[in-house]
A and B are shown apart, each in its own frame.
Chain A
């Protein structure tokens, strides 16, 4: 008796949901290749100069850094800490898959070893690997558009690492906006398929003629109360950034 009541109720509910679905005009599903390309290109330009504020939150302290960044193409970037004063001038240079830290207080440059690519960058919840962006959706992952995502709203795209690719992530789930042009949320699954961290792309605004998420929040799953926020203060796309910016001599000369 109860069972039957319940199944009738369920059927009615399902019918109601089904009939209400077409009312919300569903946007056309974008192609995977288009999405992947769009995601790759969000912040990329021939030369990008930006200012960011990075806030690192732990259960006991909150710390804010201001950095300036220069990037060129896909594999050259330089980040210099401007404040706090104590750390000012500390710089991270990335060329291809190599990462160097310049430490002005002792005038020394240290290359980050491959074994520390998964370690924290400057005490934040970002890894050194995030900076080198050695994760390539196109090269190392099989992508597929799974379908609609309810929370957050958008298209769910799943990237599964190729068999045999040695990397940090086994799967990355990404929710992109309805048009498939901007990322909304990324969920990173480790080798054992455990959700390791969530990155949210928020506060989409136009900067230098492009609509970009101006705030990114990273929350590691295994460390409660930890969070890193990156906020674009300003950004200049297609700026003139000479190749010489990304050299060790330039790194050590200071700015």
Chain B
């Protein structure tokens, strides 16, 4: 029984092909738009998370309690090597490295400039994801050599080969003074580093600032591609290490709450597009079904007089509507999927139209480069579910109208 109803409903779609095609096109284009936008949002969110957790933040950070508020030089993590070893021993930890942040006055001639000395484990941070990602071995800071942020170097007139005098504060509060040689300029996606950073080897920073086996921060990068989402769980396991008792362990979402807002706003954009799609689908389906039922009044009246129950007619019309909707979404998916795949392959430049090398900075992250849209299987689902529901709702009125037809009246018209 249901088989015949379904078959009739399906065949009905073919009766006015042009009308069906127009409805399919409307729903299809809408679904294509949803997929394109969703793909772009996916790409942008991943890119944002990567950029934010990338060179500076990592996925999880460890500090002495209070350091994030005060950044007082004496709020240090002690026994840093033993603690790093404990963290590295955990499953799911990709990399873990210690850093020192020391505000200082730096001068290559007599004029001083406000800088932040950043002590890093140069070997480890040269790996992908680190602050010095991509730098060749020879370019890394070592011993008494430092890398100076590109913008800082330009503003302060610091050149490679200059001797840099440093005045800062040691962890015990006394004065830290030292001389370094500028071995290179550093351009990172982290604006703060470009503007104020002087990157020095961890060992040299520990020596200059009186911090043997100490650091201000441990940055942890999770292993694998889902590390961004796995960060809270990883943070909890790190915090549970007995070696890390008394320290503050936080995942990146807590460390950079403003990013959360950015991600939420993009998902809001996605919702608006989805809504537009549903309205387009509803209009398409409602229009088609109204026309179809009106046209077929005689035939429907005939079916009723032959003993077809009104319920079956309702089912038939609803099935037809759902077929129409789903077919439209399918068409859209078949078009949209490859488009997003193609975009994902070539990438979309974030600075299209901007000058080469222009900087776009927000939340301290340099928004250069391209995003790569992609779709998850689950991104196709809302369109299918939504359009099915909307189709049923849109066809409900024509369906009820049909069920109430007076067979004789209908046939006469």
* Interface membership of B46, Cβ < 8 A: no
Known contacts A106-B177, A108-B107, A113-B105; 13 additional CB pairs below 8 A are A56-B173, A61-B74, A61-B172, A90-B177, A101-B105, A101-B167, A110-B106, A110-B111, A110-B165, A111-B107, A115-B114, A116-B112, A119-B114
| Distance in angstroms between the alpha carbons of A90 and B169 in the assembled complex | 13
Shortest distance between the CB of B169 and any CB in chain A (Å): 5
* Interface membership of A149, Cβ < 8 A: no
Which A residues lie within 8 Å of B172 (CB)?
61, 63
Which A residues lie within 8 Å of B72 (CB)?
58
CB within 8 A of B175: which of A60, A109, A113, A123?
Answer: A123
Contact A106 B74 (CB under 8 A): no
Which B residues lie within 8 Å of A111 (CB)?
107, 110-112
* Interface membership of B4, Cβ < 8 A: no
Within 8 A of A (CB), among B145-183: 165, 167, 169, 172-175, 177-179
> Can you offer 30 A-B residue contacts whose CB atoms are under 8 A?
A58-B72, A58-B173, A60-B74, A61-B172, A61-B173, A63-B172, A63-B174, A86-B174, A87-B174, A87-B175, A90-B175, A101-B167, A103-B165, A103-B167, A103-B175, A105-B177, A108-B107, A109-B110, A110-B105, A110-B106, A110-B110, A110-B112, A110-B167, A111-B110, A111-B111, A112-B105, A113-B114, A116-B114, A119-B114, A123-B174
Chain B interface secondary structure, helix, strand, loop or mixed? strand
Which A residues lie within 8 Å of B83 (CB)?
none
Q: How many A-B residue pairs have CB under 8 A?
A: 67
- Also in contact, A113 and B113, with CB within 8 A (given A63-B173, A101-B105, A101-B167): yes
CB within 8 A of A108: which of B75, B165, B174?
Answer: B165
Closest chain B residue to A86, Cβ basis: B174
Within 8 A of B (CB), among A214-249: 223
| Distance in angstroms between the alpha carbons of A63 and B113 in the assembled complex | 26
Mark A residues whose CB is within 8 Å of B: 56, 58, 60-61, 63, 84, 86-87, 90, 100-101, 103, 105-106, 108-113, 115-116, 119, 122-123, 223
Contact A112 B112 (CB under 8 A): yes
| Distance in angstroms between the alpha carbons of A100 and B167 in the assembled complex | 12
Contact B107 A122 (CB under 8 A): no
Closest chain A residue to B169, Cβ basis: A123
Which A residues lie within 8 Å of B110 (CB)?
100, 109-111
Closest chain B residue to A105, Cβ basis: B177
Mark B residues whose CB is within 8 Å of A: 70, 72, 74-75, 105-107, 110-114, 165, 167, 169, 172-175, 177-179
Closest chain A residue to B72, Cβ basis: A58
Shortest distance between the CB of B111 and any CB in chain A (Å): 5
Shortest distance between the CB of A110 and any CB in chain B (Å): 4
Shortest distance between the CB of A119 and any CB in chain B (Å): 7
Contact B112 A113 (CB under 8 A): yes
**Across chains A and B, which 6 residue pairs bring their CB atoms closest together, nearest first?**
A108-B165, A110-B112, A103-B177, A110-B107, A63-B173, A123-B169
Which A residues lie within 8 Å of B105 (CB)?
101, 110, 112-113, 116
| Distance in angstroms between the alpha carbons of A227 and B219 in the assembled complex | 32
Closest chain B residue to A119, Cβ basis: B114
Shortest distance between the CB of B214 and any CB in chain A (Å): 14
| Distance in angstroms between the alpha carbons of A61 and B169 in the assembled complex | 13
| Distance in angstroms between the alpha carbons of A111 and B110 in the assembled complex | 6
Closest chain A residue to B179, Cβ basis: A106
Which A residues lie within 8 Å of B173 (CB)?
56, 58, 61, 63, 123
| Distance in angstroms between the alpha carbons of A113 and B111 in the assembled complex | 7
Which B residues lie within 8 Å of A113 (CB)?
105, 111-114
Which A residues lie within 8 Å of B175 (CB)?
86-87, 90, 103, 122-123
Residue of B70, B106, B111, B175 ringed by the most chain A CB atoms within 10 A: B175
Which A residues lie within 8 Å of B113 (CB)?
113
Which B residues lie within 8 Å of A105 (CB)?
177
Closest chain B residue to A112, Cβ basis: B112
| Distance in angstroms between the alpha carbons of A52 and B169 in the assembled complex | 21
| Distance in angstroms between the alpha carbons of A56 and B112 in the assembled complex | 24
Shortest distance between the CB of A94 and any CB in chain B (Å): 14
| Distance in angstroms between the alpha carbons of A100 and B111 in the assembled complex | 9
Shortest distance between the CB of B197 and any CB in chain A (Å): 16
Which A residues lie within 8 Å of B165 (CB)?
103, 106, 108, 110
Shortest distance between the CB of A84 and any CB in chain B (Å): 7
Shortest distance between the CB of A53 and any CB in chain B (Å): 15
Which B residues lie within 8 Å of A122 (CB)?
175
| Distance in angstroms between the alpha carbons of A87 and B130 in the assembled complex | 36
Closest chain A residue to B73, Cβ basis: A123
Closest chain A residue to B163, Cβ basis: A108
| Distance in angstroms between the alpha carbons of A56 and B105 in the assembled complex | 20
